[in-house]
Structure 1
């Protein structure tokens, strides 16, 4: 686009040339043709002058631009040189740090070797200490067996076993020195001192002790009796939920709980699930039982999640409920209403149930998976799994008995070696759980199988849930003899809360010793 200044200069040149011709024509008296020629010549001169001046000006502008570009190139070269210097400095630092790291690594390797020797010595020392500890009860029992038994010693009452050691059968000396009775024992067993004070020096027949009221031992029941107990428990709401923790290995932190169903008859005697489930399925009552168990499990899960949001609960569903459209529809409506708990609510089925799925069961299982519920497999009888198919169905946990997992025969029977089973299942998002763990040796062996979770009586047996709002003292008094109510524990806390202190310390001691032996053997 032509600039305004250029147009203005051109107009001025035309006006100057025309003015020059007009002056020559009017003042000098030159003819019109001659004055026009002079005007054109002047116009041509002005045009040439303007073009040359513009070319010179453009050349100076280009020169200044080239000078600026040269200065920019020089700055860039200086910056590149500075970057090269810094890069060489960084390379030098990396070389020096690598050499320092190599020296430190050599020192760490030497310390690890020294620790290996110390661990071997520690393993030997711990083994010797365990042998000494195991020999202490035998040494203490030997003098007791060799000691003569008093002629007039009577059998201790069943109600207080410790009282026989504190209050022996009275004799003549004891009657004369009644003030030498232990005061602590008198406070604990208030009835025993009175009995000693009233005894005569002559041998007297021991009175029959009055035993406390305890639950009568369970006797074999017939199917009609169990069926009647099941119906009565359903009508009177006598289905109880017991919780057994699932812990992480080897940390033994509580991560999940499994809900175990127990039934109480009219005499408050406990009936285990394996004793009445088959009869309830045959009578068509298992659907109502599953619905009641689901309701209790949801209530328990809400209580658990008040303390920790990461806790989960396993709830068993029978194959009869899964295959019955009417029973399953009730359970599905209930689970749909509690869909927010789906990430922490795991539904558990038997291995035989998932292997024999029909079209109805498959559709029901897919409906649960669409609502976000995850599944678990228990009652595993072999290690033949299809991980991809199970993962597609929504299975995220598989419980395998520890004895089956550690059985050497399974390596030849199953499609994959048991040590690789956890890795195979983990590729498809399925966690392997070792259940029915009853010994520390099993825990140590399972560590080689990369098992993440464990369950069994070693950690804690199934125990009833403490009623909501009950105090600790009241619960201790109300709990039956030999039983303890489970306390809701933070899953991030180490260990299992339901173990007694002596048993827990003994289990920890033996478990640590086994781990030390395993580490020393590997070194």
Structure 2
């Protein structure tokens, strides 16, 4: 773009040339033609002079810029050389530091190797002593199909800093009045009548077995286990009466009674600990019967506030053979916020994505099944990776039927977070609250009616630690040593 100063200079030169021509024509009496030629010549000379002066000025400015650029390049080269020198010094220091660090690491690794060998020797010694101490004595002969149950217990309200536990009742149980567990034939019509009378007279007992965290063994959940009593107060296990009861159509009534009692137990447990939960078993017949399920879901809907801590438990075979009605009922429970658990797992062919979509959050697998090396070839995943796989879909793995310390040590290598079994505690019965406890007389019918209407449990003194001798302590030391050193 032409600058204003250039335009002004051009106008001035034209005016000067015109003025010169006019002066020559008017004063010197030069002809107009000659005056014009002189004016044009003067204008040309001025234009050439201006152009030459501008060119000289531009060259001087360009020379100055080149000098400045040369000085800047020199300074930049000097700075780059300085940075290169500093970088070389840092690399030398880093190499020296790495060499010294490697020497220190080698020394520490040698010391760790020596400590590892010493720990292996210690673990072997502790394991040998544990094997000697944990050797069971010869069992006394007992009648076939008869076994004494655990003494009656009741739920305890412990302080917030102590884990909730079940406490042995203060009543002493003499050998004469110990109830006997009977194993009846599955097709006996008389046994079906016994079940009917037990339901009618409300002889349905609730047993609680804790589910603990591993390896801390802190009580996190309780499983409500149902058992029946016949006319002679002999105990009938769930595995024995569930089959005949489902065939006779009694499981709906049993499940409803167990559901009521389990919810009341959960309310009492949550008074002191909001993190506790209860597993309640539900039969497939209850899930598939629309009439029974309507009452079932009405009760659960009324107690929706406890849904996060109340887990409904089903058999694995039930989930594998779900029909349209069962799937709709499960979806209705999941919509109300209830979570599901699966037990009676017989193999490790588990589809975690499908189970998680249906609302399953817990899977109970027997410890013997997890530790069975044959399952690696029969399933799509190794048992050691099962807990991690289930965890990706929000499902927790619970190892049940744990009966020995060695199983706990092996399960810790499988990253199992929860455990259940006789090693931690046997199922303990709840003591129902009767009017006699309040100082009033009550006949058996009124006591049964009270249990049916309230289903509450009486508080008892804390006895969270049941004496088991010194065997668990030695087993725990062995487990800790094996856990710290790993396999030999």
CA distance in 2, matches of 1:331, 1:61: 98
Q: Does residue 461 of structure 2 align to residue 499 of structure 1?
A: no
Task: Write the mapping of 1:42-53 to structure 2, written as runs, cut at 5 A.
Answer: 42-53=42-53
Q: Please give the TM-score of this superposition, normalised by the length of structure 1.
A: 0.62
User: Are 1:459 and 2:424 an aligned pair?
Assistant: yes
Deviation at 1:239, TM superposition (A): 8.1
Shift of 1:247: 0.9
Q: Deviations over 1:290-322 (max 9, x none)?
A: 76468558747865764x6xx766454443444
> Corresponding residue for 1:188?
none
Superimposed CA distance per residue, residues 241-297 of structure 1 (whole angstroms, 9 cap, x where no aligned partner):
84613312xx32537414415579999x89876577663792333664576468558
1:401/1:359 CA distance change after superposition, 3 Å: same
Shift of 1:351: 0.5
Aligned pairs for 1:72-83 within 5 A = 72-83=72-83
Tell me if 1:26 matches 2:26.
Answer: yes
Q: Does 2:481 align with 1:516?
A: yes
Contact 1:297 1:315 in 2 (8 A): no
Cα deviation per residue 1:315-343 (whole Å; 9 max; x = unaligned)?
A: 54443444345665676688789889877
Q: 2:179 aligns with which of 217, 224, 240?
A: 217
Match for residue 367 of structure 2 among 402, 421, 425: 402
- Give the 5 Å matches for 1:416-455: 416-419=381-384, 421-422=386-387, 425=390, 430-455=395-420
Q: String of CA shifts for 1:459-487, please: whole Å, max 9, x gaps.
A: 344568999xxxxxxxxxx657xxx768x
Structure 2 residue aligned with 1:357, among 308, 314, 322?
Answer: 322
Correspondence 1:173-252 to 2 at 5 A: 217=179, 223-224=192-193, 226-227=195-196, 229-230=198-199, 242=208, 244-248=210-214, 251-252=215-216
Match of 1:109 in 2: 109
User: 1:382 and 1:84, CA in 2 relative to 1: closer, same or farther beyond 3 A?
Assistant: same
Change (3 A) 1:402 1:3: same
Which moves more between the two structures, 426-435 or 356-365?
426-435
Distance 1:444 1:97, change over 3 A: same
CA distance in 1, matches of 2:212, 2:127: 30
2:59 match: 59
Residue deviations 1:72-118 (CA, integer Å, cap 9, x gap): 43444344334433433333333223322322222222212321342
Question: CA shift at 1:512, angstroms?
Answer: 1.3
- 1:92: which partner in 2? 92
Give the root-mean-square deviation of aligned CA atoms.
Answer: 4.8
Please identify, of 121-130 and 429-438, the stretch whose mean Cα deviation from structure 2 is larger: 121-130
Residues 263 and 296 (structure 1 numbering): CA distance in 2 closer, same or farther, change over 3 Å? farther
- Alignment match, 2:146: none
Q: CA deviation at 1:129?
A: 6.0
How far is 1:124 from its partner? Answer: 5.6
State how far apart, in whole Å, the 2-side matches of 1:315 and 1:305 are: 19
Kindly indicate whether the alpha-carbon contact (under 8 Å) linking 1:422 and 1:431 is maintained by their aligned counterparts in 2: yes
Following superposition, the deviation at residue 353 of structure 1 comes to 1.0
| Structure 1 position 386, deviation (Å) | 3.3
Give the corresponding residue for 1:285.
Answer: 253
Cα distance, 1:360 vs. partner?
Answer: 3.1
Q: Report what 1:41 is aligned to.
A: 41
Q: Are positions 1:260 and 2:224 aligned together?
A: yes
CA contact (8 A) 2:307 2:339 kept: yes
**Post-superposition CA distance 1:187-217 (Å, at most 9, x none):** xxxxxxxxxxxxxxxxxxxxxxxx9688873
Aligned partners of 1:463, 1:59: CA distance in 2, in Å?
Answer: 106
- Structure 2 residue runs of 5 or longer lacking an equivalent are 138-170, 183-189, 433-457
Give me the whole-angstrom Cα distance separating, in 2, the residues matched to 1:15 and 1:512.
Answer: 115
Deviations along 1:222-248, one digit per CA (max 9) or x if unpaired, are 5455445546659xxx98684613312
Deviation at 1:380, TM superposition (A): 1.0
Distance 1:212 1:328, change over 3 A: closer
TM-score computed with the length of structure 2 as normaliser: 0.66
Partners of 1:41 and 1:382 lie apart in 2 by 115
Work out the number of aligned pairs and report it: 417
* C-alpha contact (below 8 Å) 2:208/2:427 kept by paired residues: yes
Q: Is the contact between residue 290 and residue 318 of structure 1 (CA under 8 Å) also seen in structure 2?
A: no
Distance 1:349 1:485, change over 3 A: farther
Deviation (angstroms), 1:510: 1.8
**SS of match in other structure, 1:107:** helix
2:230–2:236 CA contact under 8 A, matched in 1: no
For residue 7 of structure 1, what is the aligned residue in structure 2?
Answer: 7
Contact preservation (8 Å) 2:181, 2:237? no
SS at match of 2:12: helix
Moved more, 405-414 or 329-338: 329-338
Does the CA contact (< 8 Å) of 1:245 and 1:257 recur in 2?
A: yes
Q: Which runs of 5+ in 1 are unaligned?
A: 138-210, 468-477, 487-497
Asked whether the 8 Å contact 1:437–1:455 carries over to 2, the reply is yes
For 1:387 and 1:91, locate their aligned partners in 2 and report how far apart those are by CA, in whole Å.
Answer: 52
C-alpha separation between the residues in 1 aligned to 2:303 and 2:7?
A: 85
Q: What is the CA–CA distance in structure 1 between the aligned matches of 2:378 and 2:196, rounded to whole Å? A: 40
